[in-house]
Every structure is written in structure tokens, then in C-alpha cells.
């Protein structure tokens, strides 16, 4: 299965956030994700957005990275 990245459907930025519900775990000392909601936000557009999947190349040692 190809890897994908989530991008803003308007500007294609990857600087996107998803509204979610998380609970603090005392045992794990971290936030535990319980649910993701429909609302998405683009930091580039500075507003609500729709997200799209965009295929991305596998970065597991292809030699393209600096």
C-alpha cells in the first residue's frame, strides 16, 4: 500500500490539523487518542479546510534526502 500524506484541499499544504478527543494517561504519561472528528484546520490558509490524501514516496532510504 502506498504511503499518503494529508494535505489541504485548497492550497495543498501539509501544515494541517485535525480536531480530536484525547485523554491524559497517568500510567503512560502521555495523551491517548480516543477519536478524530470531521473538523480540519490549515495553518497556511488560517482556517477550516477539507483534507485530501496525496501519495508520497517511501522515505526509507531512497537516497533522495539530504
Please give the tally of structural domains in the chain.
Answer: 1
pLDDT of residue 50: 97
pLDDT of residue 60: 56
Domain membership of residue 46 (yes or no) is yes
Domain membership of residue 66 (yes or no) is no
Domain membership of residue 14 (yes or no) is yes
pLDDT of residue 57: 81
pLDDT of residue 1: 84
Domain membership of residue 63 (yes or no) is no
Domain membership of residue 62 (yes or no) is no
pTM for the structure as a whole = 0.72
> Mean pLDDT, consecutive 10-residue segments, the chain of 66 residues?
94 97 97 96 97 84 42
Following CA atoms 37, 50, 11, 42 in sequence, which dihedral angle do they give, to the nearest 10 degrees?
-30
- CA 66 to CA 63: how far, in whole Å? 8
Domain membership of residue 65 (yes or no) is no
Amino acid at each position: 500500500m502506498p504511503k499518503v500524506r494529508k494535505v489541504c484541499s485548497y492550497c495543498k499544504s501539509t501544515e494541517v490539523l485535525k480536531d480530536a478527543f484525547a485523554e491524559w494517561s497517568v500510567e503512560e504519561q502521555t495523551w491517548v487518542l480516543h477519536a478524530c472528528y470531521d473538523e480540519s484546520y490549515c495553518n497556511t490558509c488560517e482556517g477550516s479546510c477539507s483534507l485530501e490524501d496525496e501519495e508520497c514516496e517511501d522515505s526509507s532510504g531512497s537516497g533522495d534526502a539530504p
